[in-house]
Amino acid sequence: MEVRRASITAVGHYVPEKILTNADLEKMVDTNDEWIRTRTGIRERHILKKGATSDLAVKAVQQVLTNRGITAEEIELIIVATITPDMMLPATACVVQEKIGASKAWGFDLNAACSGFLYAVSVGARFIETGVHSKVIVIGADKMSSITDYTDRNTCVLFGDAAGVVLLEPTDEKDYGIIDQCMYSDGAGGAFLNIKGGGSLNPPTHETIDKKLHYVFQDGKSVFKSAVVCMADVSEEIMKRNHLKGRDIAWLVPHQANLRIIEATAQRMGIDSSKVMINIDRYGNTTAATIPLCLSEWWQAGKLKRGQNIVLAAFGAGYTWGSMLLKWSLVNPEKP
């Protein structure tokens, strides 16, 4: 039986205007531009001053609808990967649905932190492959500034706000679209990267606020060690499984948490750095948004070609991690 594959048929992204530079952070905590650049690769990040994650998402979805030339009523399913929902309830997917007027869609949120976009594409693709839906919107969006402690130099230099979106549709083209995936999680990693307050374990109280339990906590060194191994392992695994060598891959699209993790992954895959999408210098770690933000920027810049093999790879809280192999089918925008 022929497999009905899911393919990315439109991309879009949004970053808020306000920029927080390393120089700005030097005035807020005991840090410096040199440390941040050499340890992480980050120069600046964008911050949403007013509004919520859904506002970032809506702007990115609107770009996707324009790029594909469809209306919001044609969307059948909305999946929002986020760890910064507008509210605990309702799901941000429902907020987005209402704001864009996707009256025929249903939707839900998915929490897999920095791997959230990969997990969400995986779920969305199954709805396409099984014939249940033909237009699925997958959103990776996070307002990380809402859960960042700007007095903690260990974390506040790392994160930024953004949204990236893809539209998934079925493709008739043989061997195009989403080809394969390797997905993992390991709950033992929860101790090293978490937000302890606000859930059923530690509902909000004066004490949870005083203890700063509503902010991201990260044991950076422990997370780094696991991220470096897992991202490289899972990227190598998907290449081996599909009999691909470094030269067969046109682009590696890694989660943007740390330039050193990205470089280690590319090295293990035998991929030249010119074939790695990197924008961490301008946006920092935008959690679920990093991968679609890269795809959208590179597509807009005309750098993606039909038929290219593209590997997506991510690692994040949970721990969660994974890789995905795509054969790119979307043509670039026409240049004026």
Residues at the site binding ligand UT7, with contacts judged by CB under 6 A:
31, 35-36, 39-40, 114, 153-154, 157, 220-221, 223-224, 227, 257-258, 261, 285, 315-316
| Residue of 196, 198, 216 lying closest to 154 (CA atoms) | 216
Q: Distance (Å, rounded) from C-alpha 40 to C-alpha 263?
A: 11
Tokens of residue 283, six digits: 């946006």
Given the complex with ligand UT7, which of 91 and 223 has the nearer CB atom? 223
Identify the bridge partners of residue 323 per DSSP, sorted by sequence position: 182, 313
Q: What is the DSSP letter of 115?
A: G
Helix (H, G, I), strand (E, B) or coil at 39: helix
Tokens of residue 253, six digits: 């699209």
Ranges of beta strands (E only) in 123-278 are: 136-143, 161-171, 177-185, 193-194, 217-218, 251-254
- Closest distance to ligand UT7 from the beta carbon of 218 (Å): 6
Given the complex with ligand UT7, which of 39 and 282 has the nearer CB atom? 39
| Catalytic-residue membership of 67 | no
| Catalytic-residue membership of 309 | no
- Closest distance to ligand UT7 from the beta carbon of 317 (Å): 6
Pick the catalytic residue from 13, 94, 285, 294: 285
Pick the catalytic residue from 230, 255, 258, 294: 255
- Closest distance to ligand UT7 from the beta carbon of 226 (Å): 8
Q: What is the DSSP letter of 330?
A: P
| Residue of 82, 29, 318, 295 lying closest to 168 (CA atoms) | 295
| Catalytic-residue membership of 214 | no
Run of H or E including 20: strand 19-21
Q: Distance (Å, rounded) from C-alpha 252 to C-alpha 326?
A: 11
Given the complex with ligand UT7, which of 206 and 221 has the nearer CB atom? 221
| Residue of 160, 145, 138 lying closest to 280 (CA atoms) | 160
Going from the C-alpha of 114 to that of each of 32, 33, 73, 317, 322, the distances in angstroms are: 25, 24, 29, 7, 10
Pick the catalytic residue from 13, 22, 114, 294: 114
Given the complex with ligand UT7, which of 261 and 326 has the nearer CB atom? 261
Give the contacts of 221 (CB within 8 A, at least 6 positions apart): none
Q: Distance (Å, rounded) from C-alpha 293 to C-alpha 141?
A: 10
Helix (H, G, I), strand (E, B) or coil at 70: coil
Tokens of residue 47, six digits: 């911050």
Given the complex with ligand UT7, which of 51 and 220 has the nearer CB atom? 220
**Do residues 214 and 146 touch, judged by C-beta distance below 8 A?**
no
- Closest distance to ligand UT7 from the beta carbon of 319 (Å): 8
Residue 172 identity: D
- Closest distance to ligand UT7 from the beta carbon of 153 (Å): 4
Given the complex with ligand UT7, which of 62 and 194 has the nearer CB atom? 194
Residue nearest to ligand UT7 (CB): 220
Q: β-strands 5-14, 44-46: how paired?
A: unpaired
- Closest distance to ligand UT7 from the beta carbon of 116 (Å): 11
Residue 138 identity: V
- Closest distance to ligand UT7 from the beta carbon of 224 (Å): 4
Active-site annotation, residues: 114, 255, 285
